Structure 1
Amino acid sequence: MSEVLEQTAASWPEVVVSDVSELIRGVTYSKEQATDKPQDGYTPVLRATNIQESRLVLESDLVFVPDSNVSANQRLRAGDIVVATSSGSKHLVGKSGLVHSDWRGSFGAFCAAIRPKANIESRYLAAFLQSPSYWKQVGKKALGVNINNLRRGDIESLTLPLPPLTKQREIVAELEKQFSRLNEAVANLQRVKANLKRYKASVLKAAVEGRLVETEATLSWKKQKKFESATELLQRAIQGRRFKKFSAPEQGFAALPDGWVWASVEQLAANDANSIGAGPFGTIFKAKDFRPEGVPIIFLRHVAPLKYLTRKPGFMDVGKWEELFRPYSVFGGELLITKLGEPPGVCAQYPVGIGPAMVTPDVIKLSVNDEVVNSEYLMYYFNSDPAKRFATGAAFGTTRTRLTLPLFREMPVPLPPLAEQARIVAEVDRHLSIIREVEAEVEANLQRAQALRQATLAKAFAPPELIQDTTQQRWQL
């Protein structure tokens, strides 16, 4: 680490934030006074969500309030530091960003502005507010109080080392030099993440449009062998069953390859009255029946693209589940599809071997007829761009954020022959395995970058006994 940072924080006098800055409260306004559109006579106002990655987002997600609500002192100036002091999200509280140049705007009541005095360099103070020393103090002050709130006194009593201004500027220059290289590396890693996301989407799209593997029709032509087309497969599977009349889509989808056919989700479901359904509504689904353990409840948060999650679990009383909720349950291998979201229609498969669970009203469960469709192929289709465009209405020039059960039942699915489905699934799995490996490496490097950033800030602001502990903790991520 640079010699500029070798002289640790213990070498300088310690001050509190109120010694070196003025704390300014945020603007208050009523819901009726606020608008999300800029207007004459209105001032843009930042909220906690405008503080991202240690910087202020000044171009989007703003609220505009009448100029009369904003005092002259509440108008932001270059060098001010906006801090999130209250938020429904714990991870936002304490985050901050520096105002690098004059900006005609202010900040809301759930934030505060720290305005540095002449005895401190604003960039030095802003760097301290990102350091492990700062976060350790914030953590202690949150003990015993609402962790989603930082009080005025909490901020004003924060302690930090105060070297002479010339030394502060040297430290800032060294931090900026080191972070410039680090930021470039992080930006490259983020570009790789974005490219992996596009790569995954292109693999799924190619898979469900017949462009990822050779079609059964092509292979059969090469081998001069007959094959069962998807049309024949579907007719055989649904024989004797009655369905609502289904018409193939006329727009919004690519043309089908030879041997494929359009089918509705309903036609691909198992021959069971409960094969397609969503959870019960509030008349019988009540929070008073929730328990610390029991039958897991599947909420929207548990269904991610291609992955079933178990974070923040909820449980239903076992007796109540047996009495009322077994028909709304999954037992292993079923598909879970979100009715709400941006976009709706996200799909994951419920794992086999972990016991039953019940879905909520915002989650659809689907048991498939495995004689006609591979459940993994169907999961890949639901998460593909063509399916997303149908779920959101984009394929038909409309917009929707809810996928209703009737609409889901009629959702068109491009169905390949069964053997081709198996080859498609194997090839998608191969691509996704590569993507997961690279994603894991990218995430590990991003964590290393964050650890290095915190270790550098610890060197600049923490007493010697904290530096080693902090560095070790960060590198264990």
Structure 2
Amino acid sequence: MSEAFLLGDVADVVAGVGFPKDMQGGQDGAIPVFKVGDISAAWLQGKSLLADSRNYLSAEEAKSLGKCVPAGATVFAKIGEALRLNRRVMLGRDALVDNNVMGLVPKREKVSPKYLYYFMQTVDLGELSRSTTVPSIRKSDVVEISIPVPRLAAQDQIVAELEKQFSRLDEAVANLQRVKANLKRYKASVLKAAVEGRLVETEATLAHREGRTYETGEQLLQRILEERRAKWTGKRKYREPVKPETEALSELPTGWVWASPEQVSAGEPYSLAIGPFGSSLKVSDYKTEGVPLVFVRNIRSGSFGGENTVYVTADKAAELSAHSVDAGDVLVTKMGDPPGDVCRYPANRPPAVITADCIKLRVTKVGVDPGFIEYAIASRVVQDQILGITKGVAQLKVNLANFSSIALPLPPYAEQARIVVEVDSHLSIIREVEAEVDANLQRAQALRQSVLQRDFSTASPNADALQPTH
């Protein structure tokens, strides 16, 4: 027979630790460090075990931070959007986890690690959140979860039956994930070709064939800078925008030029800006209606609006006008793992305000297509530059000063427009296929939950053992 226990009876609930900003960890260290992003990445790849990390600490450094979470523990996010997504994995080795992660260490005389791991997949941790803005859970919430605990032999039967059924499902999911990976590579190749002048015929080639002249990217950039200088009405002496860092970059196609984000910005105050920091915008300012806020998660997902949207009052938005966002503005994450996700603020959304760790680039209307700038930043050519200026161990960030001087390829305006049309066409196809793949992955996840719910119901009190299903 099985008995109903509280989770705290059969597992120790442990929280992660904070990592000092000045602590340097290397791949040659002994102890892996896992963050929420590592959990999500493993989950998205269909992995149940988390063993390899991009961050390691020496045994001595790890010991100074606290006790490692042992292999076999189930770990998951305890705060943020990742909590709502209910992604969890088992540790494949002893590790440190950061303070946004919570772990369940099974008391093995009562519950097997795999049984606990599969059971936790039936629990919606997001429902335990007490916050309406940033979801979060506490240890006291988790220890009170009820869990059916049959004999260890029956637990092993349940796990064996689940794994038999999931092996077929996992194979189908793996095939879908391979399709997604191929689509990601295809998108990267499209963007790479776009910023290397190989996606459409260059303006230089067309002009030569048609026997005409054209405005080169260099001439366009000079015109942008001259018009900005001529329109300057500020009280201070005019400051030329910073030039791009082009050392070690490859040669551009004929008629193109390297330009910095500051050079292609609108040139108005705060046309290149980050979100407010410190006490300028506090959680207490958040409202359920008003002017919407843009978070890093919105830029990553390209999704604005919906039931989870957070707002500020119109008066607060006016106070934060330096951080305002309008349709067509290019938005970039300045923190993440790694930073550099990019999208345009959509035309069908009202003006908004960016939050901390977001960068806004409002491009000039003098011969620069914001769509091209978005795709350039998303390309490997610029992403590698962003990675090169990323700093931090516990939290990876890019500062605005360094971002202002990265190098963006700038072709003639007519060529920009043709590139955007062609990229849009390719990405439209990719999005359609991705939507179908995601729908099938959701069906697979729903089937997995159905199997888990059914089989764990057989482990409820008075159930002696798993009844095999066919």
What is residue 421 of structure 2 aligned with on the other side? 426
Match of 1:379 in 2: 374
**Structure 1 counterpart of 2:304, one-letter code:** L
State the shift of 1:293 in Å. 1.9
> What displacement does 1:124 show?
8.3
Change (3 A) 1:308 1:154: closer
CA offset at residue 402 of structure 1?
4.0
Alpha-carbon displacement from aligned partner over 1:413-458 (angstroms, at most 9, x marks no partner): 2111111111100111111111111211221121222222233334
1:378 is displaced (CA, Å) by: 0.7
Aligned counterpart in structure 2 of residue 291 of structure 1, from 287, 291, 304? 287
Aligned partner of 1:5 in structure 2 is: none
Q: How does 1:61-76 map to 2 (within 5 A)?
A: none
Give the secondary structure class of the aligned counterpart of 2:106: strand
What residue in structure 2 maps to residue 467 of structure 1? none
Mapping for residues 311-460 of structure 1, pairs under 5 Å:
312-322=308-318, 324-393=319-388, 401-460=396-455
Structure 2 partner of 1:472 = none
Does residue 259 of structure 2 align to residue 269 of structure 1? no
Closer, same or farther in 2 for the Cα pair 1:435/1:29, shift >3 Å? Answer: closer
> 2:221: which partner in 1?
234
Structure 2 Cα separation of the partners of residues 139 and 31 of structure 1:
23
With over 3 angstroms needed to count, the CA separation of the structure-2 counterparts of 1:256 and 1:38, relative to structure 1, is closer
CA distance in 2, matches of 1:408, 1:105: 34
> Deviations along 1:246-279, whole A, 9 cap, x unmatched?
6565433221111112223233222533433334
TM alignment of 1:25-424, pairs within 5 A: 25=12, 53=43, 55-60=48-53, 82-83=73-74, 87-88=78-79, 90=83, 97=90, 110-116=103-109, 122=112, 125=115, 129=119, 132=122, 135=123, 147-149=137-139, 154=144, 158-159=147-148, 173-242=160-229, 244=240, 249-282=245-278, 284-304=280-300, 307-310=302-305, 312-322=308-318, 324-393=319-388, 401-424=396-419
Q: Take 1:410 and 1:75, find their aligned partners in 2: how far apart are those partners?
A: 44
SS at match of 1:158: strand
Taking only the aligned residue pairs, the percentage that are identical comes to 39
Within 2, Cα distance between the matches of 1:406 and 1:46? 29
Q: Which has the larger radius of gyration?
A: 1
**Equivalent pair of 2:70/2:105 in contact (CA under 8 Å):** no
Which sits farther off after the overlay, 260-269 or 145-154?
145-154
Distance 1:182 1:48 in 2: 25
Corresponding residue SS for 2:139:
coil
TM-score between both structures, scaled by the size of structure 1: 0.71
Residues in 2 aligned to 1:176 and 1:289: alpha-carbon distance in whole angstroms: 48
Structure 2's unaligned 5+ residue stretches are: 230-238, 460-470
Letter in 2 for 1:300: V
- Give the AA of the match of 1:393: G
1:161 Cα deviation after fit: 6.3
TM-score (norm 2): 0.71
1:159 aligned counterpart, secondary structure = strand
For residues 46 and 262 of structure 1, what CA distance do their matches in structure 2 show? 38
Q: State the alpha-carbon separation in 2 of the partners of residues 288 and 143 from structure 1.
A: 18
Contact preservation (8 Å) 2:272, 2:359: yes
| Contact 1:281/1:361 (<8 A) preserved | yes
Q: Please tell me the residue identity of whatever aligns with 1:443.
A: D
What is the Cα-based RMSD across aligned positions, in Å?
4.8
Partner Cα distance (2:410, 2:28) in 1: 52
- Paired with 1:37 and 1:153, the residues of 2 have a C-alpha distance of 35
d(CA) in 2 for partners of 1:364, 1:48: 22
Q: 1:123 and 1:175 mapped to 2: Cα distance?
A: 14
Alpha carbons of 1:154 and 1:330: their partners in 2 closer, same or farther (altered >3 Å)? closer
User: Which digits, 9 at most, give the CA deviation of each residue in 1:40-81, with x for residues without a partner?
Assistant: 9x99999999876583424447886669x989xx977xxxx6
Q: CA deviation at 1:109?
A: 8.8
In structure 1, the gaps of 5 or more residues are 1-12, 465-477
